[in-house]
Structure 1
Amino acid sequence: MTRFMTSAAVLALTAGQVFAQGVDVPDNLEKLSNFQSTGVTEFTYIEQGGDFAEGIKRTLERITLPDGFKIGLYAIVPDARHMAVGPQGVVTFVGTRKDKVWAVTDRNKDRVADEVKDFAPSLTFAIPNGPCFSDDGFLYIAEQNRVLLFPAAEFFYESPDVAAFNLVAQGDLIPPSEESFNHSARVCDIGPDGKIYISLGQPFNVAPEEKLDLYKEWGIGGIIRMNLDGSGREVYTYGVRNSVGHDFHPETGELWWTDNQVDGMGDDIPPGEINRQTAAGQHFGHPWYGGGSVRTNEYAGQEVPVDVVMPAVETVAHAADLGMHFYTGNMFPDMYKNAIFSAQHGSWNRTTPVGARVMVTFIDDEGNARTEPFAEGWIDENGEYLGRPVDVVQLRDGSILVSDDLAGAIYRIWYEG
Structure 2
Amino acid sequence: MNLWRKSTLALALCSAFLMGCSDDDDEWQNSIPETDKDPTTTHIDGYIFRPGLAPATEQNMRNLRVPAGFAVNKFAENLGMPRILAVTPEGYVYYSDRQAGTVTLLQDTNGDGMSDRKQVVANIKQAHGLAVRQGKLYIVAVKELYVTNIDMATGSLSTPQMLINDLPDGGQHPNRTMAFGPDGMLYLSVGSTCNSCPEPNPENATMLKVDLSSMSRQVFAKGLRNTIGFGWHPQTNVFWGMDHGIDWLGDDEQKEELNRIEQGKHYGWPYIFGEGKYNPGDRPEGDTTYAQYLAKTTLPTLTYQAHAAPMAIVFYTGSMFPAEYQNNAFVAMRGSWNRREPVGYKVVRLRFQDGQPTQFEDFLTGFLINSNSSHFGRLVGLAVNRDGSLLVSDDTNGVIYRVARQ
* TM-score category of the 2 structures, normalised to the smaller one: 0.7 to 0.9
Change in 2 beyond 3 A, CA 1:228/1:151: farther
In the alignment, structure 1 residue 297 sits paired with structure 2 residue 280: yes
Q: Report how far residue 62 of structure 1 moved.
A: 0.8
In the alignment, structure 1 residue 183 sits paired with structure 2 residue 173: yes
8 A Cα contact 1:149 1:165, kept in partner: yes
Q: Secondary structure at the match of 1:220?
A: coil
In the alignment, structure 1 residue 324 sits paired with structure 2 residue 307: no
8 A Cα contact 2:258 2:300, kept in partner: yes
Structure number with greater CO (CA < 8 Å, separation at least 6) is 2
In the alignment, structure 1 residue 127 sits paired with structure 2 residue 126: yes
Aligned amino acid, residue 127 of structure 1: Q
Aligned amino acid, residue 128 of structure 1: A
Change in 2 beyond 3 A, CA 1:356/1:246: same
Change in 2 beyond 3 A, CA 1:185/1:239: same
Aligned amino acid, residue 94 of structure 1: Y
8 A Cα contact 1:352 1:383, kept in partner: no
Count of residue pairs the alignment pairs up:
343
Q: Report how far residue 349 of structure 1 moved.
A: 2.2
2:222 counterpart (238, 244, 255): 238
Aligned amino acid, residue 152 of structure 1: I
In the alignment, structure 1 residue 106 sits paired with structure 2 residue 108: yes
In the alignment, structure 1 residue 393 sits paired with structure 2 residue 383: yes
Q: Secondary structure at the match of 1:273?
A: strand
1:340 is matched with 329
Distance 1:365 1:68 in 2: 25
Distance 1:376 1:230 in 2: 44
1:166 is matched with 162
Q: Which has a greater percent of helix?
A: 1
Distance 2:381 2:208 in 1: 20
Q: Report how far residue 410 of structure 1 moved.
A: 0.3
Q: Secondary structure at the match of 1:104?
A: strand
Q: Secondary structure at the match of 1:390?
A: strand
Aligned amino acid, residue 310 of structure 2: D
Write out per-residue CA displacement over residues 109-129 of structure 1, whole angstroms, 9 at most, x where no aligned residue.
222001223222xx4x23211
Q: Report how far residue 383 of structure 1 moved.
A: 2.1
8 A Cα contact 2:272 2:297, kept in partner: no
Q: Secondary structure at the match of 1:58?
A: helix
8 A Cα contact 2:191 2:206, kept in partner: yes
Larger radius of gyration: 2
1:118 is matched with 120
Q: Secondary structure at the match of 1:387?
A: coil
Change in 2 beyond 3 A, CA 1:242/1:292: farther
Change in 2 beyond 3 A, CA 1:118/1:304: farther
Write out per-residue CA displacement over residues 149-182 of structure 1, whole angstroms, 9 at most, x where no aligned residue.
0022555654xx723211212xx112xxx342x2
8 A Cα contact 1:238 1:284, kept in partner: yes
Q: CA RMSD in A?
A: 1.9
8 A Cα contact 2:88 2:386, kept in partner: no
Q: Secondary structure at the match of 2:219?
A: strand
1:281 counterpart (264, 267, 277): 264
Distance 1:97 1:408 in 2: 12
8 A Cα contact 1:104 1:117, kept in partner: yes
8 A Cα contact 1:270 1:292, kept in partner: no
Q: Report how far residue 294 of structure 1 moved.
A: 3.1
Distance 1:56 1:203 in 2: 36
Change in 2 beyond 3 A, CA 1:251/1:204: same
8 A Cα contact 1:75 1:116, kept in partner: no
Q: Secondary structure at the match of 2:182?
A: coil
1:44 is matched with none
1:223 is matched with 207
Distance 1:283 1:372 in 2: 28
Change in 2 beyond 3 A, CA 1:148/1:265: same
2:189 is matched with 199
Q: Which has a greater percent of strand?
A: 2
Aligned amino acid, residue 60 of structure 2: T
Write out per-residue CA displacement over residues 186-219 of structure 1, whole angstroms, 9 at most, x where no aligned residue.
11101110111110001100023xx3xx433xx2
2:140 is matched with 142
Q: Secondary structure at the match of 2:383?
A: strand
8 A Cα contact 1:331 1:414, kept in partner: yes
Distance 2:355 2:105 in 1: 39
1:248 is matched with 232
1:360 is matched with 349
Q: Report how far residue 73 of structure 1 moved.
A: 0.2
2:405 is matched with 415
Gap regions ≥5 residues in structure 1: 1-53
Matches within 5 A, 1:71-110: 71-76=72-77, 77-89=79-91, 91-98=92-99, 99-110=101-112
8 A Cα contact 1:312 1:369, kept in partner: no
8 A Cα contact 1:273 1:314, kept in partner: yes
Q: Report how far residue 228 of structure 1 moved.
A: 2.7
Gap regions ≥5 residues in structure 2: 1-54, 284-288
8 A Cα contact 1:325 1:393, kept in partner: yes
